[in-house]
């Protein structure tokens, strides 16, 4: 949640007494209002937005009014705010969003038909993976995933596939940074993570077992753009207890290769 930044001072010093909050720019305040919404907070009152954005009620009222008029927010009859369709229209223009999804969907559907398990498409955003498509099997293992969800790169199959094909400097920076743990099986050792990434590059697939939940395993493969750079990853998530990894690898590879070709990538001779 965005917060007001204060100058670094020593508590109790004269500098502290004279310090004042740094003024936030108008764009910062607008973005703070939008950032108040997330998957756990999809419907907010004006006071909720004010609190989560760190803004006064007066400022929040003015900004939500402008955003509602433009269509970025919608206000229902009870006065509760929701994200507006105008943002969806803008987001659909992102080349790694709806456009990628439209190209990938036929291959994701084929992967689902061949496995009847959860199928996912994701892209990288800094140190996180963002899911842009998800097809859920009726009797498939439960996963904490939805379109737009974010998870750290090291804890998912798609994240490992994306991180393994990033530039070496970003990989090293990630490996030496804090590695969040979600289960006893989550990779939190930098040395082990480096080995995992090397294995992903060697085999062309990433296998993530019980890292987010202790009952799921995912197999992922990278998706490439015309120049060969990895722009996304596709995966299938299955129950860990009876995962048939050797049988899943060819299916996931085929889907990733099909999406890559549809995007214009051609393998080197």
Please give the pLDDT value at position 98.
62
Distance of CA 104 to the CA centre of its chain: 17
pLDDT of residue 1: 39
Rounded Cα gap, residues 216 and 242, in angstroms: 10
User: Positive or negative, the Cα torsion across 192, 259, 130, 220?
Assistant: negative
pLDDT of residue 54: 92
pLDDT at 85 over 90: no
Residue spans of beta strands (DSSP E) within 100-165 = 118-125, 128-135, 150-152
pLDDT of residue 269: 66
User: For the residues 211-234, what does the mean pLDDT come to?
Assistant: 93
Token representation of residue 67: 């955003």
Q: What is the pLDDT of residue 22?
A: 54
Residue 206 · residue 223 · CB < 8 Å = no
Work out the end-to-end distance of the chain between its first and last CA atoms, rounded to an integer number of angstroms.
Answer: 49
Q: Which helix (H) or strand (E) holds 252?
A: helix 245-263
* Domains within the chain, CATH numbers bracketed: 14-89 (1.10.10.10), 98-263 (3.30.450.40)
Q: Please, what is the angle between helix 26-35 and helix 57-70, to 10°? A: 80
- Mean pLDDT check: name the lowest of 8-12, 78-82, 131-135: 8-12
Count of other CB atoms within 10 angstroms of residue 70: 11
Q: What is the pLDDT of residue 100?
A: 83
The per-residue pLDDT for range 160-180, each reduced to its tens digit, is 999 999 999 999 999 998 999
Structure tokens at 243: 């995962």
The pLDDT, as a whole number, for residue 13 is: 37
Distance CA 80, CA 190 (A): 44
Bridge partners for 44 per DSSP: 81
Which pLDDT score, from 0 to 100, does residue 9 have? 38
Q: How far is residue 17's CA from residue 37's CA, in Å, rounded to a whole number? A: 34
pLDDT, one tens digit per residue, over 16-58 is 334 444 577 888 999 999 989 887 888 999 999 999 999 999 9
**Is residue 141 predicted with pLDDT exceeding 90?**
no
* Selection from 156, 162, 161, 166 nearest residue 118 by Cα: 156
Residue 47 and residue 57 in contact, taking contact as beta carbons nearer than 8 Å: yes
């Amino acid at each position: 949640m965005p917060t007001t930044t204060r100058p670094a001072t020593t508590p109790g010093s004269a500098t502290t007494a004279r310090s004042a909050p740094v003024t936030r720019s108008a764009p910062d305040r607008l973005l703070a209002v939008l950032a108040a919404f997330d998957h756990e907070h999809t419907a907010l009152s004006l006071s909720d937005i004010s609190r989560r954005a760190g803004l006064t009620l007066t400022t929040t009222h003015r900004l939500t009014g402008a955003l509602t008029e433009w269509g970025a927010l919608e206000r229902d009859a009870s006065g509760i705010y929701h994200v507006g369709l105008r943002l969806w229209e803008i987001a659909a223009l992102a080349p790694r969003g709806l456009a990628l999804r439209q190209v990938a969907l036929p291959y994701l559907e084929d992967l689902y038909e061949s496995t009847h398990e959860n199928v996912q498409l994701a892209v990288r955003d800094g140190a996180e993976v963002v899911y842009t498509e998800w097809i859920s099997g009726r009797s498939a293992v439960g996963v904490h995933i939805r379109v737009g969800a974010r998870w750290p790169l090291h804890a998912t199959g798609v994240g490992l596939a994306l991180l393994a094909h990033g530039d070496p400097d970003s990989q090293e920076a990630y490996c030496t940074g804090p590695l969040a743990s979600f289960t006893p099986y989550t990779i939190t050792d930098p040395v082990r993570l480096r080995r995992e990434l090397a294995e992903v590059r060697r085999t062309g697939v990433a296998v993530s077992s019980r890292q987010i939940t202790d009952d799921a395993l995912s197999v992922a493969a990278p998706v490439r753009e015309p120049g060969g750079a990895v722009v996304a990853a596709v995966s299938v998530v299955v129950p860990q207890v009876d995962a048939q990894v050797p049988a899943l690898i060819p299916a996931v590879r085929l889907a990733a290769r099909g999406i890559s070709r549809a995007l214009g990538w051609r393998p080197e001779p």
